[in-house]
Amino acid sequence: MQETIDYIKKQIKDFKPEIGIILGSGLGDFADNVAGIRIKYQDIPGFEKSTVAGHKGQLVFCEADGKKFVVMQGRYHYYEGYHISRIVYPIKVMKKLGVKTLIITNAAGSVNKKYNAGDLMVITDHINLMGVNPLIGENDASLGDRFPDMSEVYKKSLIQLTLQKAKELNMQVRQGVYAAMSGPSYETPAEINMLRIMGADAVGMSTVPEALVANYCGMDVLGISCITNSAAGVHPSRLSHAEVVETAAKVKDSFKNLLVSVIREI
Ligand code: HPA
């Protein structure tokens, strides 16, 4: 960790990010046109190479509206085969760099039958069905408690702020529960039925490990899903990553507008 921090600090000097943003599938270009310092994951000691097509794999340190950001263009997924501790390593790095608020975005399938592809959903809570917890192992007490409370992982005031900003932008935004599966296979119709009975509204293969660790580290978390497809069994069509990326690309401008107006008020 010290080597990671030393390497990053050498590039960013005394820049101190307060807000972290993780960009999910199709949203990776959010920080493309901003001036900032870019560091590729592959160059950072302790970081893995990101392998998913459509994910860039770099940190962008930038400033807007007087606020300082570190943006993850691309993330690690458990299904890529990394140990779960590697997936959440960047979150711990953000904490050490001074990040207080983490905004997590993702692409997700809709479990809730009222949702449509292209909808945005503010995450109110999650169900971890990845089969693993990123805090398993020795606890680093300098980061957080051995048995962290999880009663408000997604901060209510940030959820309210996002809903308020959506209203001002005349956007319909859903709020619901995100269920995380390991992937990489999509779910079966029976699994989606199970998730619905459990109380999930959307399903995806990320976010939960990151949110869990951010909460453990004492960060405020906001999660927003871009509903890219109806989950398996809702419609007769087959699921594909191309569809996920295509829908995410279609809504990225409104997603960006929402993010920018939320960020202004944090
Ligand atoms: N299932 C799981 N993960 C996803 C989906 C889905 O339907 N869509 C986007 N990510």
**Structural domains of the chain, count:** 1
Classify burial at 138, counting beta carbons within 10 Å of its beta carbon; exposed 0-12, middle 13-18, buried 19 or more. Answer: exposed
Do residues 75 and 204 touch, judged by C-beta distance below 8 A? no
Mean pLDDT calculated for residue range 35-54: 84
Let me know how long the chain is: 266
Do residues 72 and 59 touch, judged by C-beta distance below 8 A? yes
User: Distance between CA atoms of 7 and 1, rounded to whole angstroms?
Assistant: 10
Output 51 or 203, whichever has higher pLDDT.
203
Q: Kindly give the pairing relationship between strand 202-204 and strand 67-73.
A: unpaired
| SS3 call for 263 | helix
- Tell me the pLDDT band of 244, cut-offs 50, 70 and 90: confident
In tens, the pLDDT along 101-159 reads: 999 999 999 999 999 999 999 999 999 999 999 999 999 999 999 999 999 999 999 99
Both structure tokens of 244: 């996920």
Instruction: Give residue 106's pLDDT.
Output: 95
Instruction: Give residue 30's pLDDT.
Output: 81
User: Distance between CA atoms of 44 and 21, rounded to whole angstroms?
Assistant: 18
Give the residue, by CA position, lying nearest to ligand 1 atom 10. 108
Q: What would you report as the CA-atom Rg of the chain, rounded to the nearest whole angstrom? A: 17
Instruction: Give residue 89's pLDDT.
Output: 97
Q: With a 6 A CB cut-off, is 234 part of the ligand 1 pocket?
A: no
Ligand 1 atom closest to the CA of 239, numbered from 1:
7
User: Distance between CA atoms of 64 and 224, rounded to whole angstroms?
Assistant: 20
Do residues 61 and 15 touch, judged by C-beta distance below 8 A? yes
Both structure tokens of 4: 């990671």
* Domain interval for residue 260: 2-9+16-265
Site to probe by mutation for ligand 1, drawn from 191, 239, 251 as the one with most ligand atoms within 8 Å of Cβ, is 239
Calculate how far, in angstroms, residue 39's C-alpha sits from the geometric centre of ligand 1: 28
Instruction: Give residue 55's pLDDT.
Output: 61
Q: With a 6 A CB cut-off, is 204 part of the ligand 1 pocket?
A: yes
The catalytic site residues sit at 25, 55, 77, 79-80, 107, 205-206, 229, 241
Q: With a 6 A CB cut-off, is 48 part of the ligand 1 pocket?
A: no
**pLDDT at 245 > cutoff 90:** no
Percent of the chain surpassing pLDDT 70:
97
CATH number of the domain enclosing 165: 3.40.50.1580
Calculate how far, in angstroms, residue 228's C-alpha sits from the geometric centre of ligand 1: 8
pLDDT, the chain, mean: 93
Instruction: Give residue 18's pLDDT.
Output: 97
- Tell me the pLDDT band of 27, cut-offs 50, 70 and 90: confident
> Which 8-state DSSP code applies to residue 243?
H
Q: With a 6 A CB cut-off, is 228 part of the ligand 1 pocket?
A: yes
**pLDDT at 52 > cutoff 70:** no
Calculate how far, in angstroms, residue 244's C-alpha sits from the geometric centre of ligand 1: 8
**Residue-wise over 239-251: b if at least 16 C-beta within 10 A, else e?**
bebebbbebbbeb
